[in-house]
Every structure is written in structure tokens, then in C-alpha cells.
Amino acid sequence: MADMESQTQSADSEAPAIFMAANRPVTLKFENVVYKIKIKKGGFFSKTKKSEERLILKGITGVVMPGEILAMLGPSGSGKTTLLTALGGRLGRCLGGSITYNGKPFSNPMKRNTGFVSQDDVLYPHLTVTETLVFTALLRLPNSFTKEEKITQAEAVITQLGLSRCRNSIIGGPLLRGVSGGERKRVSIGQEMLINPSLLFLDEPTSGLDSTTAQRIVSKLWELAEGGRTVVMTIHQPSSRLFYMFHKVLLLSEGNPIYFGRGTGAMDYFSSIGYTPSIAMNPSEFLLDLANGVSPDDSEDRTAVKQVLVSAYRINLADGLKAELQEIGNHHQVDLEDKQFARWSTTWRQQFSVLLRRGLKERKHESFSALKIGQILAVAFFAGLLWWQSGLAHIQDQIGLLFFYSGFWGFFPLFQAIFTFPQERMMLMKERSSGMYKLSSYFMARIVGDLPMELVLPTIFVTITYWMGGLKPTAENFFHTLSVLLFSVLASQGLGLALGAMVMNLKSATTLGSVLMLSFLLASGYYVQNVPSFIAWIKYISLSHYSYKLLLESQYKPDDTYPCAPNVVCLVQNFHTIKLIGLNEQAISVVALAIMLVGYRLIAYIALMRVGVA
Ligand SMILES: Nc1ncnc2c1ncn2[C@@H]1O[C@H](COP(=O)(O)OP(=O)(O)OP(=O)(O)O)[C@@H](O)[C@H]1O
């Protein structure tokens, strides 16, 4: 990354204009868009459990041409975000009507030509502004750009969006001070700008910002539109200065359109149907009042006002709009050449390498945190002291130590891994929806990136406890025990990944993980020797069962002798807690752990396939 930074510094002076003309202008048409959801009715104790359909979008029609900004206004809950998501090709099921891009449905080439800035900025908190944009450029820009050109593009965005001052500051998050909210929003917009999209969607890009910063962002969007792009955004209550910058305005009220047309014509339209503000006011404030059913003197019933506005729209605007769509349909069919857009911008290897580097940078503080290492050191020394030089004279204690290995290193990696995918969910959704990389490259980069720490911690732990605890003091036995433990750590980590990916909810995943691991531990053969046959099957799926058996094998051989009772020497085979296993069973245990190691990861991968694909 150091070379990345020096390259970006040197690129400062020669940054090309990223705000050049759009690659391929896009005409966005949407006709009679309807979206419904199913809501479950009836409480927990209710006998009648029915589901009810709720209409969120009730027949929305409009068109946005290249060079235009469409602003969607409306009260909270009126359906702005839902419509934006639908237009951005990210809302699959239960969507009615037609949405076309240059006369065609949403396609992969269109996905790669579309930028989508969500309401919440989904960014990695520990990366700097430069790192964030450079990694995005490396992943999203096609291979027709060299690496240096990609970095130069990122630099151009930093300059153009006025981010030079904070280029080396970290993004930050809720508990980590980083760049300001406005700067974070500009980084999010910059990530989309990198690909020079012809179609740009933004969900409330100005919310939470002061009016000057908001004005600055909308001015940038205006410049982008001027370059032949199609810009669609939702906005809550723009100032009058901003309002007149929008070429078109769509006003929504409870999912119904009540105005679609030129921003400058909105006030005249509402005057023509009898709604004129009694005092001079910000047009967006007036429009929002109307969408909430508040007439200028607030004398009429609000529901009645909304109904009047909905029917006025149908009578006065709907037909004209449909005719306009028809007209454009006949003349504007510029197509995106599918052949010119490969399915992915970069190769699998490039994706893997960039994602690996990005992941290591983002999680450096977490993986090698003093707390994590300290935690392991503390437990290791404590265990070492407890089992201090136990030796064969205290074989029962030693077996306890091996059981502790199997239990602790079953739980610890599982609970580390369970967080992996739920924490990354938003990022994965965002990046996969914009077709940034293959799931397999992301998955492999994540697994490989976490590997060093996953293996280093148990190695430190075993090195300390093994010698302190007085297990067999030969290098062969030590490495045998260590390799068995690392093997089972990888299997248990796989289980954590699978649970996290399947449930995608930390609370449920951790509860499920605890129950599973405890059942596995109980079935491992330590507590109960003769498990009743109807429950005995559980040990065959128990990770701890196999790891515990293999750990025992790494220490004891059937013909080992040990002091069994005062002055009596026994064979280890007869010791009641040790059920040593033959070569066949050892092989079965190794295969079982290997199946778990791969199988759980496969389950995690399949579960992730549902995340973030438009
Ligand atoms: N998947 C869903 N399940 C339940 N309700 C939903 C779902 N999607 C949307 N809604 C409901 O649809 C309505 C419109 O939501 P949407 O987020 O589009 O509103 P909005 O106009 O963007 O609001 P805001 O300005 O507050 O962001 C809301 O009442 C919301 O609760």
C-alpha cells in the first residue's frame, strides 16, 4: 500500500478529468411500477395467522433522459427508497410494471454501467479515503486500464470531489473517529464515479449534511448529468436553491405519484388545480405538505386532499406522460452493446489478490490485536500452571488437558468465525449487486486472509501448555498433537463460517453455535462411556469426538505403561477413560474432520450465494 500511496501522490498533478462525458447515455423509462409485500397478520397467540398484501408502489410512471436529474420527493415511508431500489435493478420479487434501460430490461452490462449510492455509507472503517477508492478502482475498472491508470482514476475522483485534505484519514465508524459525514458520503459517491457510470442512483445523498455541503454535492451531480449521465436521487427536503437544480421531480404520497414533471413547473401545476401557497415558501416544503395532505390553509381533511391530488394526477398528468413515453420509445433505442462488456471487469486472480490485500489491511488491527493475543496467552499460562508438569504419574489429569484442548479449540475458532459473514453482509450485498467480483474470489480471499491468525493462536497456546503441562516431551509427539489440533481448529472454524452465513444474524448464530458445540462436547466420549444407543449416533457428527480421539492417539500408544495405582503398573489400554483406537479408526477420524473442514465451508459458500445478487 505504501507504493500505492506514493503513486497516488505523484498522480496529483496529472489527474485526468473523470467527469468527462458518459460512455453510453441511458434513457430510463418506468411504466406503471407496482410493488407489493406480504405482511403476516395475527400475533404470537392469535389462532388465525393470515398474511396480507400491502401495496408500497401504486403504479408509478416516468422517464429520465441522459443529462437529466430526477429527484424523488415525498414524506417518510412514501416509497422513495423502494422505487429507487427497483429502478436500480435491485428489487426482484413482487415487482410489477415495466422498467427499461434504452428499451431493454436490466442486464449485466447495464449493472456495470450503473452506480448506486445507498442511504447508509457502507465502507470499511479502518481503510483511508485513498485506500478505499484505490481498492475500488482496482476491482471495478476493467483491464483495459493498467494498474497505474486505475490508481490515477482514483486520484482524479479524490481531487474532483474535494477529498484531498482527508485523503490519508481513515473512514471511521460509529465507535471510531474518522472523516466527517459529508466526506464519507463523497467517498461513497466517488466509489460509483470511478466507473464513469451512465446511470447513477443516489438514496438521500444530502441527508444529515449542512446546506452548503449539500449544495456542493448536488452541484457535482449536476455536472455529472451535464456530461450526458442519467441521475436519479431521493431527497427529503431540499433547499429552494437545490430544488431548482433538478430537471425533473417525482412527488410521492403513500406510494401514489402526485406529480411528475419539470421542477420549475411544479408550483404552477399545483396552482392550476387550486393549491397555491398563501405565503412565499420553499417549493419542496410546499410539495411535502401537499403529499402529507396538508392544504395551504390546512382547512381540508388530509385524506381527502391526498385523494384529490391522486385523481388530479391521473386526470392531468398520467395520459400525457404515457404519450411521452410512447414517443420516446419510438426514437430512443440506443443500445448498450452487450459484447463490449465482459461479465467481470477483472480476472479471478486479480480479484482474489486485491480482496486479500484489502481484507488484511482492514482487519490488521483485529487479527493481531493485543487483546486477542493477550487472551490466549493468559489462558495458556493459567492452564500451564494448573497442569504444571503433570507427567504420566497423573495420567487422568493429562487426559483432562487433552480434553480441554479439544473443547477450548472447538469453541474459540467457532465463535471467531461466526462473526465473519454477518459483519460483512452489507458490504457483500453492495459490492456483489454492482457486479464487482465473483463470490468465489471473495470467499477464498476471506478464508486465506484469516488463516495465519487462526493457526498462529493455537500454535502459541499448545507450545506453552504442552511443555508446561508435562505432556510427552518428544518433538514427534508435540508436532503430532499440534497438527491434530490445527486440523480440528480449521474444521470448527468452518462450522462457525457456515452458521454465520446461514443465519446471517449474530444472536441466533451464536446461540445455535453454543448448543451445537456443547452437544458435540457431551458426545465426545469423555463424560459418558456407554452412551445409550438411541443417542449414540450423535458422536459420529461430533467434531470434538474425532479431535479428542486423535489427540489421545497423539500421546498414548496401546502398549504404553503407566502407574495405575500405588505400586501397580498398568497398560494404558486398560485405563478406563482411554479408549484408544486402531489405525482404521484413526483414518476414519481424519477423513471425518477433513469432510467437516471442506463441507462446512461449502455450506457457507452456498448460503452466501443468496446475498447481494440483483
Ligand atoms: N421489505 C419490507 N417489509 C416491510 N415493509 C416494507 C418493506 N419494504 C418497504 N416497506 C415499507 O414500505 C414503505 C416505503 O418504504 P421506503 O423505504 O421506500 O420509504 P421512503 O419514502 O424511502 O422513506 P424514508 O424517507 O423514511 O427513507 C414504508 O412504510 C416501509 O415500511
Question: Above 60 in pLDDT, residue 315?
Answer: yes
Q: What is the pLDDT of residue 281?
A: 83
Let me know if residue 339 belongs to a domain.
Answer: no
Which protein residue's CA is at the shortest distance from atom 13 of ligand 1?
77
Average pLDDT over residues 236-263: 90
Q: Ligand 1 center to residue 36 CA distance, Å? A: 11
Question: Above 90 in pLDDT, residue 544?
Answer: no
Question: Above 90 in pLDDT, residue 17?
Answer: no
Query: For every residue of 136-189, which 3-state class applies, written as one string?
Result: HHHHHCCCCCCHHHHHHHHHHHHHHCCCHHHCCCECCECCECCCCHHHHHHHHH
Shortest-distance atom of ligand 1 to CA 252:
21
Shortest-distance atom of ligand 1 to CA 74:
21
With 0-12 / 13-18 / 19 or more C-beta atoms within 10 angstroms meaning exposed / middle / buried, residue 397 is middle
Question: Above 50 in pLDDT, residue 318?
Answer: yes
Query: How many domains does the chain divide into?
Result: 2
Question: What CATH number should be reported for the domain holding residue 189?
Answer: 3.40.50.300
Let me know if residue 267 belongs to a domain.
Answer: yes
In angstroms, the CA 472 to CA 209 distance is 65
The answer to whether residues 488 and 546 touch, using CB atoms and an 8 Å cutoff, is yes
Q: Per residue in 164-217, pLDDT tens?
A: 899 999 999 888 888 988 889 889 989 998 888 889 999 998 877 778 878 888
Picking from 295, 329, 363, the residue at the C-terminal end of a domain is 329
Looking at the structure, do residues 406 and 542 belong to the same domain, yes or no?
yes
Picking from 274, 299, 329, the residue at the C-terminal end of a domain is 329
Three-state secondary structure call for residue 206: coil
Q: Ligand 1 center to residue 78 CA distance, Å? A: 7
Which protein residue's CA is at the shortest distance from atom 6 of ligand 1?
37
Looking at the structure, do residues 147 and 245 belong to the same domain, yes or no?
yes
Let me know if residue 340 belongs to a domain.
Answer: no
Q: Ligand 1 center to residue 32 CA distance, Å? A: 18
In angstroms, the CA 139 to CA 132 distance is 11
Q: What is the pLDDT of residue 341?
A: 56
CB of 37 sitting under 6 A from ligand 1:
yes
Question: Above 90 in pLDDT, residue 459?
Answer: yes
Q: What is the pLDDT of residue 11?
A: 40
Let me know if residue 213 belongs to a domain.
Answer: yes
Average pLDDT over residues 310-336: 77
**Domain limits for position 385:** 351-608
Looking at the structure, do residues 163 and 233 belong to the same domain, yes or no?
yes
Q: What is the pLDDT of residue 48?
A: 60
pTM of the full structure: 0.81
Average pLDDT of the residues of the chain: 84
Let me know if residue 420 belongs to a domain.
Answer: yes
Picking from 271, 299, 329, the residue at the C-terminal end of a domain is 329
Shortest-distance atom of ligand 1 to CA 83:
18
Query: With bands split at pLDDT 50, 70 and 90, how would you rate the model's confidence at 8?
Result: very low
Q: Does ipTM exceed 0.85?
A: yes
Q: Per residue in 511-536, pLDDT tens?
A: 998 998 888 888 776 677 677 777 77
42 versus 73: which is more confidently predicted?
Answer: 73
Q: What is the pLDDT of residue 338?
A: 52
CB of 94 sitting under 6 A from ligand 1:
no
Which protein residue's CA is at the shortest distance from atom 16 of ligand 1?
79
Question: Above 90 in pLDDT, residue 24?
Answer: no
Provide the grid cell at 472. 510427552
Q: What is the pLDDT of residue 501?
A: 93
Alpha helices in 282-394 (DSSP H): 283-291, 302-313, 319-331, 348-367, 370-386
Looking at the structure, do residues 405 and 325 belong to the same domain, yes or no?
no
Residue percentage of the chain with pLDDT more than 90: 37
Q: Distance between alpha carbon 57 and the CA centroid of its chain, in Å?
A: 26
Q: What is the pLDDT of residue 244?
A: 87
CB of 74 sitting under 6 A from ligand 1:
yes
Task: Give the CA distances from residue 318 to residues 95, 177, 178, 242, 310, in Å, rounded to whole numbers and listed in that order.
Answer: 20, 49, 47, 26, 10
Looking at the structure, do residues 309 and 390 belong to the same domain, yes or no?
no
Looking at the structure, do residues 129 and 200 belong to the same domain, yes or no?
yes
Three-state secondary structure call for residue 28: strand
Return the DSSP state at 470: T
Looking at the structure, do residues 126 and 159 belong to the same domain, yes or no?
yes
Question: Above 50 in pLDDT, residue 5?
Answer: no
Q: Per residue in 286-301, pLDDT tens?
A: 999 999 888 877 777 8
Q: Ligand 1 center to residue 584 CA distance, Å? A: 59
The answer to whether residues 359 and 63 touch, using CB atoms and an 8 Å cutoff, is no
With 0-12 / 13-18 / 19 or more C-beta atoms within 10 angstroms meaning exposed / middle / buried, residue 91 is buried
Q: Ligand 1 center to residue 193 CA distance, Å? A: 27
The one-letter amino acid code at 58 reads K
Q: What is the pLDDT of residue 22?
A: 64
The answer to whether residues 71 and 248 touch, using CB atoms and an 8 Å cutoff, is yes
Task: Tell me how long the chain is.
Answer: 614
Q: Ligand 1 center to residue 83 CA distance, Å? A: 10
Q: Ligand 1 center to residue 81 CA distance, Å? A: 7
Long-range contacts of 381-389 (CB under 8 A, 24+ apart): 381/464, 381/468, 383/465, 383/468, 383/469, 384/464, 384/465, 384/467, 384/468, 384/469, 385/468, 387/465, 387/468, 387/469, 387/470, 388/468, 388/469, 388/470, 389/468, 389/469, 389/470
Let me know if residue 613 belongs to a domain.
Answer: no
Average pLDDT over residues 436-465: 92
Question: Above 90 in pLDDT, residue 346?
Answer: no
Question: Above 50 in pLDDT, residue 20?
Answer: yes
Average pLDDT over residues 234-263: 90
Looking at the structure, do residues 116 and 263 belong to the same domain, yes or no?
yes
Query: With bands split at pLDDT 50, 70 and 90, how would you rate the model's confidence at 477?
Result: very high
Query: With bands split at pLDDT 50, 70 and 90, how would you rate the model's confidence at 12?
Result: very low
Which of 200-204, 384-388, 570-574, 602-606 shows the lowest mean pLDDT across its residues? 570-574
Average pLDDT over residues 146-166: 90
Let me know if residue 141 belongs to a domain.
Answer: yes
Residue the block writes with cell 395532505? 293
In angstroms, the CA 26 to CA 301 distance is 42
Looking at the structure, do residues 364 and 310 belong to the same domain, yes or no?
no
Residue the block writes with cell 501397580? 568
Q: What is the pLDDT of residue 393?
A: 67
Residue the block writes with cell 410521492? 252
Q: What is the pLDDT of residue 505?
A: 85
Q: Per residue in 383-432, pLDDT tens?
A: 999 988 877 667 778 888 888 999 999 999 999 899 889 988 889 988 88
Looking at the structure, do residues 258 and 375 belong to the same domain, yes or no?
no
Which protein residue's CA is at the shortest distance from atom 10 of ligand 1?
56
Let me know if residue 335 belongs to a domain.
Answer: no
Looking at the structure, do residues 12 and 59 belong to the same domain, yes or no?
yes
The answer to whether residues 238 and 207 touch, using CB atoms and an 8 Å cutoff, is no
The answer to whether residues 98 and 32 touch, using CB atoms and an 8 Å cutoff, is yes
Looking at the structure, do residues 277 and 381 belong to the same domain, yes or no?
no
Task: Give the CA distances from residue 433 to residues 97, 222, 299, 585, in Å, rounded to whole numbers and listed in that order.
Answer: 22, 25, 47, 47
In angstroms, the CA 191 to CA 214 distance is 18
The dihedral region occupied by 248, where left means phi > 0, alpha psi between -120 and 50, and beta the remainder, is beta
